[in-house]
Amino acid sequence: MTESPMPPAPLAEKARILRELHQGPGMLVLPNAWDAATARVFETAGFPAIATSSAAVANALGYEDHEGAPTDEMFAAAARITASVSVPVTVDFEAGYQLSPEEFVERAIAAGAAGFNFEDTDHHGSGGLVAPEQQAERIAALKAAARKAGVDLVLNARGDSLLQRSGAREEQIADAVARGKLYLEAGADCVYPIGFYDEETTIALVQGIDGPVNILSWRDGPSLPRLAEIGVRRVTFAGGLFRTLMATLTETATQLRASYSPD
């Protein structure tokens, strides 16, 4: 007689597991999935948790990033990903799709997300950064709504100072650090000063924020072992894995087409 499979862990338990993974002992490395198939690949490879990439998900659905895809489609895609694996999934929900904290949390929980990214670019207004105090208030409201709903979702507060590139590099870093510290004080579990950083910038961010920091890994940046030595707590890849595979697919398609040209 075969044993029945273990039921999936409740979402609140997955959120707890995801939060603990940020505390070590090792650096948390989260590959970014964009559909059920890629999520299963990462789970099978042994990753204890998985992230998603809004850019990869939106592009796979035929839309642009930066909240260019319909909100319902982004939540539906998240639900398909979370349902396909047993490990916790933290979803890139961009800037929250202009939903109230209560509605956003309700939909995130319904989609099976154990955590989420929340960024401070205003996609529907100026296109610039949301005022840091305003963003901190929204973070606090989201955390309060999640706890009230019974699932303390892991909030990764993305700061876009380095992407906006306003001012000198030193000013960008200073703003990223100030925002990161403020977002942690507001209740964020981790902060994500997204950008393409050299080692010196990475060290400045980690030491300045002095809390759990998510760093974007890219091909010309510090290696994963070096990021761990610096004190980075979490590493993600944004849409990098998607772009790498699409480049390979493009090359393969080109070769296939070139191998046969009908008269």
- Please check whether residue 1 lies inside any domain of the structure: no
Average pLDDT over residues 77-91: 98
- Please check whether residue 3 lies inside any domain of the structure: no
**Cα(68)–Cα(74) distance, integer angstroms:** 10
Are 161 and 193 in contact by the 8 Å Cβ rule? The answer is yes
pLDDT tops 50 at residue 2: no
The structure tokens listed for 21 are 């993974």
Are 140 and 39 in contact by the 8 Å Cβ rule? The answer is no
- Please check whether residue 151 lies inside any domain of the structure: yes
Strands 190-193 vs 154-159: parallel, antiparallel or unpaired: parallel
**Cα(232)–Cα(251) distance, integer angstroms:** 34
* CATH assignment at residue 243: 3.20.20.60
- Please check whether residue 261 lies inside any domain of the structure: no
Average pLDDT over residues 78-87: 98
pLDDT tops 70 at residue 104: yes
Task: Residue 191: give the domain boundaries.
Answer: 11-253
- Please check whether residue 263 lies inside any domain of the structure: no
Of 219, 193, 226, the closest CA to residue 117 belongs to 193
- Please check whether residue 61 lies inside any domain of the structure: yes
Q: Residue 4 has what pLDDT?
A: 46
Work out the pLDDT band at 95, boundaries 50, 70, 90.
very high
Average pLDDT over residues 145-166: 96
Q: Which residues pair with 121 in a beta bridge?
A: 129
Q: Is the dihedral of CA 123, 129, 134, 137 positive or negative?
A: positive
pLDDT tens sequence across 194-213: 998 999 999 999 999 999 99
pTM value is 0.94
- Please check whether residue 258 lies inside any domain of the structure: no
- Please check whether residue 127 lies inside any domain of the structure: yes
pLDDT tops 80 at residue 5: no
Lowest model confidence (mean pLDDT) among 2-11, 18-27, 169-178, 249-258? 2-11
Total domains in the fold of the chain: 1
At residue 210's C-alpha, the angle toward residues 93 and 205, to 5°, is 70
Q: Residue 31 has what pLDDT?
A: 98
